[in-house]
Structure 1
Amino acid sequence: MEVFVIFQRMLMLLAMMALGYISYKRNWLDEGGHKKLSEMVVNIFNPALVINGAITATAAGGSNLSLIKENLIFVLIYYGICIVISYPVAKIVSAKDSQKSMFMLMTIFSNVGFMGIPVLSSIYGSHAVIFITFYILAYNVILYTLGVFIAQRNIPKEERKSSLSGLLNIGMICSVLAIILYFSGIKFNDSVMSFFNYVGNATIPLSMIVIGASVAKIPFREVFKGIRLYVFAFITLLLIPIAASFIFKGMKNDEMVFGIFILLFAMPVGSIVSMLIKEYGGDETLCSKTVIITTLLSIITIPIVTMFI
């Protein structure tokens, strides 16, 4: 994989984030606009990109069961590793029991969809999205079961509640629909494909703009304080993906499927963790800072990780 090309693409994404940062600072995009734009990315553009990935892959030659099987194995390995190592990682970076749950969540739930899809589709093309879709399905199931359980560890048992209803969301629905379309082999006319292509591709700049605006919300100096956040970033953005690349290299059959598996380890912390922490109690500011730091550092660390794929 050409590292310089990947670095150029990451710089392009960084430039898009800068647009969001500047827009928020200049008040071209206010708090209300940022929230609405984020909702549009989550509920319209990102789902369209998922659907586009399915119909593009189908148009390119239909479903490839051997690749799907290989991908599913990597999905299971991916989340198995994330769950198993979440407690040791949390123990390394936090001495406070009240914060261990937060670091566990941040280890398990990286930004698979909101940043993973734009980054990986820019590297491998839109046909790669169908493989990421399986990770998103598993992500949703684990998030609203184990994720909610971990998030509620620090609150009294009588105040805990189930969030299984959260499983029925637009991301989950479109992921299931994309997989059905992929395996059905249905091919759409050019107008339908163009629609999903145009709308879906808007996800890349818009999601980066949303992330950039999120960075602008916290005073710049405050974002970069805290050595343990950099220790956490080093472990999750570099150490784990590079180690996984060496350990599982023998299972590599398809470069794209294996690359997706490794690079998803290298994704920054998912913003959904901040929402969980906010809902169930915890250090929301520290969580938001970690999301921002890992997002910014990933611009540099993702090209480094590609050197080991």
Structure 2
Amino acid sequence: MKNNIINQVIILSLIMIVGVYARKKDILSKEASKSFSNFLTNVTLPCLLISSFNYSYSQDMIEKARIMFAYSIIIHIVLILVSRVLTFKYPENSKKVLRFATIFSNCGFMGYPVLESLFGKIGIFYGAIFNIPFNIFMFSIGIMIYTGKKDLKTLKEVLVNSAIIATILGLIIFSFSIKLPYPLFTAMSIVGSMTTPLSMIIVGAMLSEIRVKDIFSGTLVYYVSFLRLIAVPFLTLGILKLLNADKLLMQIAVIIEAMPAAVLASVLAEKYGADTALASRSVFISTIISMITIPFIVMFL
């Protein structure tokens, strides 16, 4: 198991390096990287999610899905409250980035590939359930952290985002034991299987945009990396231990929370005038360090 985890992380890291190389050499342009990102979120990821629900109906799985949904709500509420305490002494612009990066992990671009590599389709199944509250919190509370005000329009938009729609469709397919025609299911599975390599290439391309100079200076990026990669996973583990959680659900939830800072942290920082440099560096540093911490967290579990 230990060697399998290390091998999977090495494989994902090597694919990410391909993205760095392709972007540095301009084989993959900035515009192409954005297009691939849109293609992933709107096509390959929904296909992966829908195909991951291709199980015979099981009351046990439905019950566990409900429990996972509740776990996600509890964990994110705790993180929202705890992040306020852990970042209160920092300047407002920095505090916004620190709170967002602490609460929200890169569960899309990196979470799903890691879950699939460790647990297969069942990992995607429960991961998709966990990420429904995650997305709602990120595009409501997350944006409120940056703006200091409510943004109901954005919340309405996230409720019709492709990942959530795909998850709902998958749940319908699962709940009613709908069998997709073989050619359709196979095509969807093949397209969905592109998500893992494509996501790591995109992450690599994003990281290549950050200037090496001054990336590693200062202490804040290491503080937020510690919170995101070590403190949050172990806090999640503690919460789920107290709730006497199912072992598989606990492992999946902790691994999702062991992912680096969400790429959206830097996008929103730029949009709402927060510390963009800190946000970009936090995403970069936490992603690099996660190559070491993710195997550690998984082996600990």
Alpha-carbon shift at residue 190 of structure 1 (Å): 2.6
Other-structure match for 2:224: 232
Matches within 5 A, 1:53-72: 53-55=52-54, 58-59=55-56, 62=58, 64-72=61-69
SS at structure 1 position matched to 2:179: coil
CA contact (8 A) 1:7 1:300 kept: no
Query: In the TM superposition, what is the alpha-carbon distance from 1:221 to its structure 2 partner?
Result: 3.5
Contact 2:103–2:228, Cα closer than 8 Å, also in 1: no
TM-score normalised by the chain length of structure 2: 0.91
Q: CA deviation at 1:142?
A: 1.3
Q: Does 1:206 align with 2:198?
A: yes
Residue 87 of structure 2: SS of its match in structure 1? helix
Q: Which moved more, 1:62-71 or 1:211-220?
A: 62-71
Deviates most, 206-215 or 233-242: 233-242
Report the alpha carbon displacement of residue 50 of structure 1 after superposing the two structures with TM: 0.9
1:142 aligns with 2:133: no
Residue 38 to residue 160, structure 1, CA distance change in 2 (3 Å): closer
- After superposition, the CA RMSD in angstroms is 2.1
* Residue of 162, 166, 173 corresponding to 1:181: 173
Structure-2 residue corresponding to 1:20: 19
Size of the aligned set, in residue pairs, is 299
Q: Does structure 2 retain, via aligned residues, the 8 Å contact 1:13–1:208?
A: yes
State which of 93, 99, 106 in structure 2 corresponds to 1:98.
93
Bigger mean CA deviation after superposition, 266-275 or 135-144: 135-144
- Aligned-partner Cα distance in 2 for 1:247–1:257: 12
Change in 2 beyond 3 A, CA 1:229/1:136: same
Give the unaligned 5+ runs of structure 1. none
- Sequence identity, in percent? 27
CA drift at 1:246: 4.3
Q: 1:77 aligns with which of 74, 79, 82?
A: 74
The 5 Å alignment of 1:1-309 reads 2-55=1-54, 58-59=55-56, 62=58, 64-91=61-88, 95-153=90-148, 162-167=153-158, 168-249=160-241, 251-252=243-244, 254-309=246-301
State the SS of the aligned residue for 1:81.
Answer: helix
TM-score scaled by structure 1? 0.89
Q: How far apart are residue 250 of structure 1 and its match?
A: 5.5
